[in-house]
Amino acid sequence: MTCSHSTRHGYAHRAGPVLCAGLLVFVGVSHASAQNLTITGGTLDADLNITQSAGITLQGDRGFTFTGASFIGHFKPWDDCHLVGAAPCGPGDRVSLYASWSSSDLPGVATLDGTTYPKVGGPADPGLTVEFFGSVLLPPLSESATVVAPIAFDGKFYVPGGPITLFGSGMATLTITPDRAIPGRWRVNQVHYQLGPALPSPWMAADVGAVSLPGRSAAVGDSIVVLGDGTDVWGTADAFRFVHQPVSGDTAISAHLSTGEKTYPVIAYTSTTPDAFAKAGLMLRESLGAGSPSVIVDVKPNGEIEFMVRYAAGEPTIYLGGADTGSTDLWLSLRRTGNSVSAAYSADGHMWVDVGSASVPFGGANLLGGIAVTSHDPSALFGVLADHVSIRSTTRTNLLTRGNFEDYNPPALGLPGWVSDDDLRQVPAKSETHQPHSGFKNGACWTPDYLDCGMYQEVNAPASGRYTFTIYATADRPGGLVGVNVNGLTATYSEVNAAAFGAYALHTMTITAAANDIVRVWMYSPASPGYVVVDDASLVLDAGEGLVTSGTWTITPIASDGAFSLTGATFDVNGTYDGGPTSLLSQCATSGQRCRPGDTVNLSAGFTNETPVPFENPARGSATIGGVTYSPVQFGGTVSLSGGSARLPDAAPGDLAIVTSPFTISGTLKGFNLFGEPSQLFAVPLAGGGTARAELLAGPGIDGSIVFSVYRITYEFEPQ
pLDDT surpassing 70 at residue 593: no
Q: Which residue has the higher pLDDT, 464 or 56?
A: 56
pLDDT surpassing 90 at residue 573: yes
CA distance 130 to 18: 14
pLDDT surpassing 90 at residue 528: yes
Q: What is the pLDDT of residues 623-660, one digit of tens each?
A: 887 667 787 888 988 898 988 888 899 888 888 999 99
Q: What is the pLDDT of residues 600-611, one digit of tens each?
A: 888 999 998 877
pLDDT surpassing 50 at residue 1: no
pLDDT surpassing 70 at residue 545: no
What pLDDT does 83 receive?
65
Contact criterion met (CB below 8 Å) for 613 and 660: no
Work out the angle at residue 226's Cα, subtended by the Cα atoms of residues 225 and 230, and round it to the nearest 5 degrees.
165
Q: Which residue has the higher pLDDT, 114 or 561?
A: 114
Q: For 231-240, 461-470, 542-551, 665-674, which range has the lowest pLDDT when averaged over its residues?
A: 542-551
**Residue 50: exposure state from Cβ atoms within 10 A (0-12, 13-18, ≥19):** exposed
CA 256 to each of CA 357, 384, 714: distance values in angstroms, whole numbers, following the listed order: 20, 10, 20
pLDDT surpassing 90 at residue 444: yes
Q: What is the mean pLDDT of residues 567-592?
A: 81
Q: pLDDT exceeding 70 applies to what percent of the chain?
A: 89
pLDDT surpassing 80 at residue 362: yes
CA distance 318 to 225: 28
Considering 213-217, 256-260, 358-362, 687-691, the range whose residues carry the highest mean pLDDT is 213-217
pLDDT surpassing 80 at residue 15: no
What pLDDT does 112 receive?
94
Q: What is the mean pLDDT of residues 420-428?
A: 93
* Average pLDDT in the chain: 84
DSSP assignments along 397-463, one per residue: PP-SSSTT-TT--TT---SSS-EE-TTT-SB--EEESSS-SSSS-EEEEEESSS--EEEEEEEE-SS
What pLDDT does 85 receive?
59
Considering 33-47, 290-304, 384-398, 559-573, the range whose residues carry the highest mean pLDDT is 290-304
Q: Which residue has the higher pLDDT, 547 or 37?
A: 37
Considering 95-104, 297-306, 466-475, 512-521, the range whose residues carry the highest mean pLDDT is 297-306
What pLDDT does 298 receive?
97
Q: Which residue has the higher pLDDT, 419 or 681?
A: 419
What pLDDT does 591 receive?
47
Work out the angle at residue 693's Cα, subtended by the Cα atoms of residues 690 and 697, and round it to the nearest 5 degrees.
175
Q: What is the mean pLDDT of residues 575-587?
A: 86
What pLDDT does 52 receive?
47
What pLDDT does 8 receive?
22
Please name the residues in contact with 119: beta carbons below 8 A apart, sequence gap of 6 or more: 107, 109, 125
Q: What is the mean pLDDT of residues 5-12?
A: 25
Q: What is the mean pLDDT of residues 489-510?
A: 89
What pLDDT does 284 receive?
96
Band of pLDDT at residue 21, cut at 50, 70 and 90: very low
pLDDT surpassing 80 at residue 53: no
CA distance 166 to 715: 43
The neighbour count for residue 600, using CB atoms within 10 Å, is: 12
* Residues present in the chain in total: 720
Q: Which residue has the higher pLDDT, 24 or 121?
A: 121
pLDDT surpassing 90 at residue 370: yes
What pLDDT does 166 receive?
94
Q: What is the mean pLDDT of residues 656-680?
A: 82
Band of pLDDT at residue 442, cut at 50, 70 and 90: very high
Half-sphere exposure of 359 (CA within 13 A, CB side): 0
Q: What is the pLDDT of residues 290-343, one digit of tens each?
A: 999 999 999 999 999 999 999 999 999 999 999 999 888 899 999 887 778 989
Q: What is the pLDDT of residues 176-192, one digit of tens each?
A: 988 888 888 888 888 88
What pLDDT does 534 receive?
95
What pLDDT does 542 receive?
63
Work out the angle at residue 447's Cα, subtended by the Cα atoms of residues 445 and 452, and round it to the nearest 5 degrees.
70
pLDDT surpassing 70 at residue 672: yes
